[in-house]
Structure 1
Amino acid sequence: MSAARAIGLILGLAADGALGDPRRRPPVTAFHRVVAATGSRRATGLGIAGAAVAAGVLAERAGRRSPVCQATATAVATWAVVGASGLATQGTELARDLEEGRLEPARDTLSELDPRVTDGLSTIGLSRASVETLAENTSEVVVTPLLWGAVAGVPGLLAARTVGLLRRLLPGHWVIDRLDELVHLLPTRVAAALTVLGAPVVGGSAGGAWRAWRRDTIAHPSPNAGRVEAAFAGALEIRVGGRTEYPQGVVELPVLGVGRNPDAGHVTRAVELSRVVGWLAAGTSVFVALLSGVRRRNP
């Protein structure tokens, strides 16, 4: 059955790439709208996460009757929650708008991806925020659901994405924040490691990515946030981090990476690096799914 799960992950990713921007797919937008509509109240946030797991468990059990059913259920869930195609599309839009000096459209696109306040950000500020956001979202909407899907199937895919959405809908919710940290604890480190491996593919520095990841995230207040951002900054030989404004206030984050301030060209390279990390994450997830099946057959 783990082979069927691996096939489902591949098919779901293929559908994500072939069908383009997930913002225009009814199943994807419906999933986001349900979470947004019901999870925006603190009292129901945990219930939504539990419901997502329950729905995934039912789908997984139904799929155990045949490899075809399990592969299909996994493919549909992967297609519904993994956002690699949309992230690449929005990242390309950001890079193009910044290159052409169109800051307002860039602010609008960035606001769709990140909760920070974008008003007043200059080209440098928007470029920095774009690289940070592309790095963070590569981990959150690509690497994390794929790894949890490889380990736990449909429940892992749905739960991982739902918790990430709830964290953005309910900032400051202690339980949701702790769940989010737990869900992303391993995937963020895997994403940073894959960034190190993938950096040379886009002409980046693997050594710089490794050093920034290991050196700069020590000072970061979160156990997860900043790891992939630091690795991206090191790979692209730029600096990110620093003063960041959110609706709830201004946060002084540590500077990640060394080198020059980013520009539109670095945003384009960050999109390319995000794609490479996504491909490596897909291969890693398929390997994990197959390995887990071998271990279950040979305890």
Structure 2
Amino acid sequence: MTIARGLVAGATLDALTGDPRRGHPVAAFGRAAAALERRLYGDSKVRGAVFAGLCVLGAAGLGAASRGRTGPVAAATWAVLGGTSLAREGRAMRAALEAGDVEAARARLPHLCGRDPDSLDAKELARATVESVAENTSDAAVAPLFWGALLGGPGLLGYRAVNTLDAMVGHRSPRYANFGWAAARADDVANWVPARLTGLLTVVCAPLVGGSPREAYRVLRRDGAAHPSPNAGRCEAAFAGALGVRLGGVNVYGDRVEHRPALGDGRPPEPDDIRRAVRLSRAVGLAAAGLAAGVRLAFGRGR
């Protein structure tokens, strides 16, 4: 009961306030992880695994100190959720594109993803935004709630540690190809179920943005596995089907170029589709919060 109340209270707090401008707990974790990286770094998978293990166990241990009390669980839930901030970034991108300010949209895109924005036009910026909103709906909302429902405080903070480490070191660059391997694989494992749950919740919520659950499920089943990521494709394919758009194409990350397969059968996204994607993302996050609390309540009654 206390964990369920904490999850609902934390999700409500995130919906009302979003992330703080300064002093975010996840940023503090990132600074601590960066300091540890400087001490442990080596071009070795073993060193990277030790680094990731220490960071995740430390965060999970901090979550265990909550002992399932409502207040600490609510605070942890608020700290790890990012659905409101994700929606704000999506709205900012939409406003810039609708105003015809491509330069402002390019400057804003790094808040959402690591794609190189310099060569992107308005249509490609809209596609990048919809894809990022879809993928991050799992990372920022569904996945932390899933692990919170399953493991309480340790699940909430442990998941966010895994996801943050993947963003920090889980790259295919020469520096992190080995050292970041464990963090990247841990993130794949931690998001496997939540990404598929995100896809299914997107199917259920499709009518809220004028979409068809049948079409969203069809595209999810057909295209979800085509994406090079084992998890992001499920989210993006479901969003493509629900919104009636086509995602995928050429993505540039610095000096690396990736050719993503097409997801969906519709037209390319437009700025107004960002509004619909944000609305869909918020609906999926709300559904995930209700589901997480319900699962935790059922678990408590079973015990």
Q: Determine if the TM-score, normalized by the shorter chain, exceeds 0.5.
A: yes
Residue 167 of structure 1 corresponds to 166
Distance 1:92 1:37 in 2: 34
1:239 and 1:256 in contact (8 A); partners too: yes
One-letter code aligned to 1:34: A
Distance 1:23 1:243 in 2: 33
SS in 2 for 1:240: coil
% of aligned pairs identical? 44
Q: Which of 185, 192, 195 lines up with 1:188 in the alignment?
A: 195
Residue 4 of structure 2 corresponds to 6
2:131 and 2:236 in contact (8 A); partners too: yes
Distance 2:50 2:241 in 1: 36
Residue 134 of structure 1 corresponds to 133
One-letter code aligned to 1:16: D
**CA gap 1:33/1:99 in 2 versus in 1, 3 angstroms:** farther
Distance 1:92 1:10 in 2: 25
Deviation at 1:116, TM superposition (A): 1.3
Distance 2:18 2:270 in 1: 26
Deviation at 1:28, TM superposition (A): 4.5
**CA gap 1:46/1:138 in 2 versus in 1, 3 angstroms:** farther
Distance 2:63 2:121 in 1: 47
SS in 1 for 2:249: strand
Task: After superposition, give the CA deviation of every residue in 1:164-206 in whole Å (9 maximum; x if it has no partner).
Answer: 1211221133222211110001000000000001110122222
Report 1:251-266 matches (<5 A): 251-266=258-273
Deviation at 1:12, TM superposition (A): 0.8
Residue 242 of structure 2 corresponds to 235
One-letter code aligned to 1:136: E
Report 1:15-26 matches (<5 A): 15-24=13-22, 26=24
**CA gap 1:58/1:30 in 2 versus in 1, 3 angstroms:** closer
SS in 1 for 2:232: coil
Distance 1:204 1:46 in 2: 45
TM-score by length of 1: 0.90
Segment drifting more, 210-219 vs 234-243:
210-219
Distance 1:106 1:95 in 2: 8
One-letter code aligned to 2:8: I
Deviation at 1:130, TM superposition (A): 0.3
1:22 and 1:85 in contact (8 A); partners too: no
Q: Residue 57 in 1 paired to residue 100 in 2?
A: no
SS in 2 for 1:115: coil
One-letter code aligned to 1:154: G
Segment drifting more, 86-95 vs 13-22:
13-22
Residue 116 of structure 1 corresponds to 115
SS in 2 for 1:254: coil
Deviation at 1:245, TM superposition (A): 1.1
RMSD: 2.0
1:12 and 1:79 in contact (8 A); partners too: yes
Report 1:1-299 matches (<5 A): 3-24=1-22, 26-36=24-34, 38-39=36-37, 41=41, 43=47, 46-60=50-64, 62-64=65-67, 70-170=69-169, 171-172=171-172, 173-247=180-254, 249-295=256-302, 297=303
TM-score by length of 2: 0.88
Deviation at 1:21, TM superposition (A): 3.9
**CA gap 1:39/1:229 in 2 versus in 1, 3 angstroms:** farther
Segment drifting more, 77-86 vs 172-181:
172-181
Distance 2:130 2:122 in 1: 12
Distance 1:84 1:33 in 2: 22
2:112 and 2:132 in contact (8 A); partners too: yes
Task: After superposition, give the CA deviation of every residue in 1:69-118 in whole Å (9 maximum; x if it has no partner).
Answer: x1111111111111011111111101111111111221222212211111
Distance 2:59 2:207 in 1: 40
Distance 1:28 1:273 in 2: 25
Q: Structure 1: which 5+ residue stretches go unaligned?
A: none
1:7 and 1:71 in contact (8 A); partners too: yes
1:53 and 1:158 in contact (8 A); partners too: no
1:115 and 1:168 in contact (8 A); partners too: no
Deviation at 1:58, TM superposition (A): 4.6
**CA gap 1:35/1:136 in 2 versus in 1, 3 angstroms:** farther
Tell me the matched-pair count: 289
One-letter code aligned to 1:50: L
Distance 1:128 1:283 in 2: 29
**CA gap 1:157/1:46 in 2 versus in 1, 3 angstroms:** farther
